[in-house]
């Protein structure tokens, strides 16, 4: 267990937007010190270290973990590197905070989860939906029974990440390449945004029982001649029809090709006793409950009560139970993999309760 009287020393692997966001999130917490960062692009690693005033930066995770006495490793490398980097941390007795999805595929997620269990270390996965106060408040209202038994839910996560202007920015181009590259281990939008939506769906309706999914490449970067050798065929858009073990039905949608706002999240839930609707484009900090007493607009404090970063640090100290551990990440990875198989085969798949 970490000595709660000393700062928890954190190193960050991966200096893209996810890595930098994690540095910002952890830097704002008490008893935490970011000591180093790593990226296989030395210029990006050096820039990130300078941006946040870090003493050291590296291009290899092994070198960083050998040179630095760290307690926690943030895994924010592309999905294809999650397994190797996490296993390296566990082997050195280092706790892990991993970006979602847990891995490139279910088999890797199983290996990571087994290693986390065997190590006895704290291992969390950062499902960003938990850090959105609007969603957390809505989920809490549902769990309190405000809508009665849930019958149907819809959720969408839309982004305009693949705006053609990113091709003029070499850093954005790099992000494009790994997000759409199956060779880099990416599952595309269903891996990144889908994992957030499947996590949300389970929190609203419980275990999934069946799924039917369509995954598409709408932006068509795989058809651009200069990119064809990079295998940019991971989908940028998906739609999933869901059946839940409790009898409810659902629909999930996500895309990186959505024009307009950079990011938009929406959720609609119908229960026996009412409904809930939210859309961040219409109101970033409000949602509406519809009950027999009439509509009720719920205002939410934009500052989250507890983020996954705060919960993780408390768990490392032995002061809290993890809200989102590797076992949970493994379940969501199973949902993603079955959805991809459904899309490949044009089938509606029954899910195995013993995933």
Rounded Cα distance, 293 and 127, in Å: 34
CATH number for the domain harbouring residue 88 = 3.40.50.720
User: What string of pLDDT tens digits covers the 355 residues of the chain?
Assistant: 555 557 999 999 999 889 999 999 999 899 999 999 999 999 999 999 999 999 999 999 999 999 999 999 999 999 999 999 999 999 999 999 999 999 999 999 999 999 999 999 999 999 988 888 999 999 999 999 999 999 999 999 999 887 655 555 555 666 677 788 888 888 999 999 999 999 999 999 999 999 999 999 988 877 777 777 778 889 999 999 999 999 999 999 999 988 776 789 999 999 999 999 999 988 889 999 999 989 999 999 887 778 999 999 999 999 999 999 999 999 999 999 999 999 988 767 688 766 5
- Pair 141, 64 in one domain: no
> Do 112 and 157 belong to one domain?
no
Whether residues 98 and 141 share a domain: the answer is no
Q: Is residue 176 part of a domain?
A: yes
Q: Is residue 154 part of a domain?
A: yes
- Tokens read off for 198: 């499947």
Asked if residue 310 belongs to a domain, the reply is: no
Residue 23 lies in a domain: yes
Could you tell me the CATH number of the domain that includes residue 193? Answer: 3.30.360.10
Per the domain annotation, does 1 fall within a domain?
A: no
Based on the structure, what is the number of domains in the chain?
Answer: 2
How far is the C-alpha of 28 from the C-alpha of 31, rounded, in Å? 10
Residue 16 belongs to a domain: yes
Question: Do 63 and 206 belong together in one domain?
Answer: no
Q: Select from 121, 149, 165 the last residue of a domain.
A: 121
- Using CA atoms of 329, 335, 339, 345 in order, give the dihedral in degrees to the nearest 10: 120
- Nearest Cα neighbor of 125 from 339, 317, 327 is 327
Do 140 and 198 lie in one domain? The reply is yes
Residue 44 lies in a domain: yes
Torsion from C-alpha of 334, 336, 338, 342, nearest 10 degrees: 180
Determine the structural domain holding residue 241 and report its residue range.
Answer: 132-302+324-350
Same domain for 106 and 183: no
Pair (192, 92) in one structural domain: no
Q: Which of 60, 90, 121 is the last residue of a domain?
A: 121
The answer on 83 and 34 residing in a single domain is yes
Q: Is residue 282 part of a domain?
A: yes
pTM: 0.92
- Where residue 185 falls (left for φ over 0; alpha for ψ -120 to 50; beta otherwise) is left
- Statement to judge: residues 177 and 94 lie in one domain: no
């Amino acid at each position: 267990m970490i000595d709660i009287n000393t700062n928890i020393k954190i190193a960050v692997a991966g200096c893209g937007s996810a890595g930098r966001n994690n540095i910002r999130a952890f830097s704002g917490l008490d008893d935490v010190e970011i000591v180093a960062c790593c990226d296989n692009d030395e210029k990006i690693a050096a820039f990130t270290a300078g941006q946040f005033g870090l003493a050291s930066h590296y291009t290899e995770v092994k070198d960083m973990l050998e040179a630095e006495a760290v307690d926690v490793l943030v895994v924010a490398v592309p999905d294809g590197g999650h397994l190797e980097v996490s296993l390296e941390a566990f082997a050195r007795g280092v706790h892990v905070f991993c970006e979602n999805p847990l891995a490139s595929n279910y088999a890797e997620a199983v290996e990571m989860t087994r290693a986390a269990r065997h190590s006895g270390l704290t291992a969390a996965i950062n499902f960003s939906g938990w850090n959105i106060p609007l969603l957390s408040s809505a989920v809490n209202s549902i769990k309190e029974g405000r809508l009665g038994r849930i019958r149907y839910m819809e959720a969408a996560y839309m982004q305009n990440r693949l705006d053609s202007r990113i091709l003029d920015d070499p850093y954005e181009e790099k992000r494009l390449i790994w997000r759409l590259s199956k060779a880099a281990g990416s599952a595309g939008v269903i891996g990144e945004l889908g994992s957030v939506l499947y996590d949300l769906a389970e929190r609203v309706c419980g275990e999934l029982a069946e799924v039917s999914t369509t995954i598409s490449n709408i932006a068509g970067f795989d058809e651009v001649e200069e990119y064809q050798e990079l295998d940019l065929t991971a989908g940028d858009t998906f739609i999933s029809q869901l059946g839940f073990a409790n009898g409810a039905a659902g629909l999930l949608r996500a895309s990186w090709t959505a024009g307009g706002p950079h990011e938009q999240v929406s959720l609609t839930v119908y229960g026996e006793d009412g409904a809930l609707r939210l859309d961040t484009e219409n109101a970033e900090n409000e949602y509406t409950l519809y009950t027999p007493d009439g509509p009720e607009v719920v205002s939410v404090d934009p500052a989250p009560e507890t983020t996954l970063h705060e919960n993780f640090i408390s768990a490392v100290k032995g002061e809290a139970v993890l809200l989102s551990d590797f076992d949970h990440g493994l379940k969501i990875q199973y949902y993603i993999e079955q959805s991809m198989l459904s899309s490949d085969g044009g089938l509606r798949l029954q899910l195995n309760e013993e995933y």
